[in-house]
Structure 1
Amino acid sequence: MKYRRVGNSGIKVSEIGLGSWLTYGTASEQAAADACISTAFDCGINFFDTANAYNRGAGEEAIGAALKPYSRSSYVLSTKVFFPMGDGPNDRGLSRKHIIEQCEASLKRLGVDYIDIYFCHRYDDQSPTEETLRALHDLVTQGKILYAGVSEWSATQITEAAGISKRLNLHPIISNQPIYNMFERYIENEVLKVSGEEGLGQIVFSPLAQGILTGKYKPGVQIPKNSRAANDSVNGVINSYLQENVLNCVQNLESVAQQLGISLAQLSLAWVLRQPGVSSALIGASRPEQIEENVKAVQVELHSDVIEEIETILKQVEGFAPLR
């Protein structure tokens, strides 16, 4: 395993991290979470990500239970706040009230004394950014979180937050958590540049496009029965990728991977990690062998000719926009 600093902070995370979206507490049992986290530790992964909104806290509970046997100092744990956790008007967003209350609830569900990185799951246009940043600053000062981050914030929103933190001498945001894969590349336009200037590292989710970039889905072939795309409770995002031009593109990318003697998943993760602004790529796994395969991506170096070939293939899906 290799490790990278998160932005300008001193904390280091494994280049491959393990996430729990659509995985633990929803589509798989606790035994699977335990087995996957055990394998992750064996492979050198030290970064584990979840969110309070993942199955209304069940994702945090599953991750917390699986991490319980391990020394707290041996791993970096992140969770998030923003999405509704109840039916009340204050049970969502980034108000001081919701942030403070949900941090306490997450600590209890996770069974830990502190959260390493606490992410604002989305931007909240109903709460003043200064209020949000002051609440995060106070949580850092209290030792309940060590660092703060954001997720899917625009370049303008990141710039605004960084400016407020500097002006008020608040603890800075150290990370942005955006979607980033071969098909969804919006962060390359402005977010990467602004984040670099403001000291934020990218911890990216869905680097394998919800499994599309593993090659399991083929054009003109029925969806595998045990795949996420066949599960009506979690397949909304995945199905947006199931377009003929996307699947044809995946076939061509798989040929590139075969020529290099690696899997398509390893090629796709190495492509994401080629970006110096990326601190870690979050994978999801329901089986330990998926982790063992994916972590090999950190040893893959993509030379310029391979990257150019990939770019040529990706022109087939130029302008692709998944349904959200």
Structure 2
Amino acid sequence: MEYRELGRSGLKVPVLCLGTGTFGSEETTGGWGAVDVAGASRFVDVCLEHGMNFFDSANVYGGGVAEEVLGQAIKGRRDEVIISTKGTFRWTEGPDGIGSSRAAITAAVEGSLRRLGIDCIDLYQLHAFDALTPVEETLQALDDLVQAGKLRHIGCSNFSGWHLMKSLATSDRLGLARYVAHQAYYSLLGREFEWELMPLALDQGVGTVVWSPLGMGRLGGAVRRGQARPKVSRLNDERGRAYLPPAEEAFVYDVVDALDAVAAEVNKSVAQVALRWVLQRPSVASVIMGARSEQQLRDNLSVVDWSLSDAQMETLNAASSKQKTYPYWHQEFFAERNPPPV
């Protein structure tokens, strides 16, 4: 297993991370999966066998059930794992059950620690930006939790460029703990991350932790031109479709066609090639993968120890390229002094 430094921190993380959105029951996960404690414990066994010790959750996954299941699965081996979780979305009723105020963050962290059954979270990320709370209050609250030994590192998720840069500048100005990670959506179906957030990550030393590298399952190999949608898929769930990253159907098929061609060249699955492409992109520290079964987990773990060639990467780049919006298309005219990330 390859390990990479997480931003400007001393924490090294494996290039693959297991997401726990499938932990719980079909009811709690909204159809994403049904991995119970026994199944989750087996997943942890398999991951550790492969040198992958990074596990990501959130307080809203299954209403806290995913954190509880993960906590049970890592019991007795806390020192072997890196635990990441998130908070900001509404998780309880009342004014402090949402957002990134001092009260909300403190309550969310305490709740996650309790459900996970641990004393300290290795990486705590804000699940979204809270525009109604001063950035200074949010970062001071997070810094206090770091100083108290309840959090080791902090990060954010789904921030825009100005959200992230304002937060980093505030941390630098006040001498507070700094975001070392940005958990962001990035896949061959959604490359907007490259336009501003990727250059920012490289410039500011923020490691990218990628969520949904398979475009919410559409690059898993089961969605193909002229074929019916698979019977078991989050695409069949109304709640799952509500969070589906946008991509036109014809564009999805074009990308899958390119993946098929490259997969045949390297003798790998479509999903493995899609994951490998993300791993070879700039700023990426780790890629979160989900799994419904042990076989699916093992298949995803097989994206290490091999690489796509420059020509294969270019084939996928060309198939997934989209017209940029302003000001990014205009900046391309000045590439001599404003080069793209490499």
What band does the TM-score fall into relative to the shorter chain?
over 0.9
- How far 1:149 moved relative to its partner? 0.3
- How far 1:22 moved relative to its partner? 4.6
Q: RMSD of aligned C-alpha atoms?
A: 1.9
Counterpart pick for 1:54 among 57, 61, 67: 61
2:284 corresponds in structure 1 to: 278
Q: Amino acid of the residue matched to residue 16 of structure 2?
A: I
2:267 corresponds in structure 1 to: 261
Counterpart pick for 2:134 among 128, 138, 151: 128
Structure 2 CA distance for aligned equivalents of residues 233 and 267 of structure 1? 28
- How far 1:183 moved relative to its partner? 1.1
Indicate if the aligned counterparts of 2:139 and 2:171 stay in contact, CA closer than 8 A: yes
1:3 corresponds in structure 2 to: 3
Structure 2 CA distance for aligned equivalents of residues 254 and 235 of structure 1? 24
Structure 1 CA distance for aligned equivalents of residues 222 and 248 of structure 2? 11
1:64 corresponds in structure 2 to: 71
Indicate if the aligned counterparts of 1:266 and 1:300 stay in contact, CA closer than 8 A: no
Runs (5+) with no aligned partner, structure 2: 326-342
- How far 1:239 moved relative to its partner? 8.7
Counterpart pick for 1:229 among 235, 247, 253: 235
Structure 1 CA distance for aligned equivalents of residues 223 and 323 of structure 2? 20
- How far 1:242 moved relative to its partner? 7.2
- How far 1:54 moved relative to its partner? 0.9
Structure 2 CA distance for aligned equivalents of residues 242 and 13 of structure 1? 34
Summarize the Cα distance change of 1:241–1:119 in structure 2 as closer, same or farther, 3 Å threshold. Answer: same
Counterpart pick for 1:310 among 302, 307, 316: 316
Counterpart pick for 1:186 among 183, 192, 203: 192
Q: Amino acid of the residue matched to residue 182 of structure 2?
A: N
1:13 corresponds in structure 2 to: 13
Structure 1 CA distance for aligned equivalents of residues 49 and 67 of structure 2? 21
Counterpart pick for 2:43 among 36, 40, 46: 36
Q: Amino acid of the residue matched to residue 130 of structure 1?
A: E
Indicate if the aligned counterparts of 1:267 and 1:300 stay in contact, CA closer than 8 A: no
- How far 1:319 moved relative to its partner? 7.0
1:91 corresponds in structure 2 to: 97
Indicate if the aligned counterparts of 2:6 and 2:13 stay in contact, CA closer than 8 A: yes
Structure 2 CA distance for aligned equivalents of residues 226 and 254 of structure 1? 21
Structure 1 CA distance for aligned equivalents of residues 16 and 179 of structure 2? 21
Per-residue Cα deviation, 1:133-177 (whole angstroms, up to 9, x for no partner): 000000000000100100011221111111111111111111100
- How far 1:122 moved relative to its partner? 0.4
Aligned length: 318
TM-score by length of 1: 0.92
Residue 77 of structure 1 aligns to a residue whose secondary structure is: strand
Q: Amino acid of the residue matched to residue 67 of structure 2?
A: E
Indicate if the aligned counterparts of 1:215 and 1:251 stay in contact, CA closer than 8 A: no
Report % sequence identity.
35
Structure 1 CA distance for aligned equivalents of residues 131 and 188 of structure 2? 29
Point out the more displaced range, 302-311 or 132-141: 302-311
Structure 2 CA distance for aligned equivalents of residues 318 and 183 of structure 1? 13
1:289 corresponds in structure 2 to: 295
Residue 123 of structure 1 aligns to a residue whose secondary structure is: coil
Summarize the Cα distance change of 1:16–1:122 in structure 2 as closer, same or farther, 3 Å threshold. Answer: same
Per-residue Cα deviation, 1:56-105 (whole angstroms, up to 9, x for no partner): 111111111111142x2211101111000122122100000000011011
Structure 1 CA distance for aligned equivalents of residues 76 and 46 of structure 2? 13
1:207 corresponds in structure 2 to: 213
Runs (5+) with no aligned partner, structure 1: none
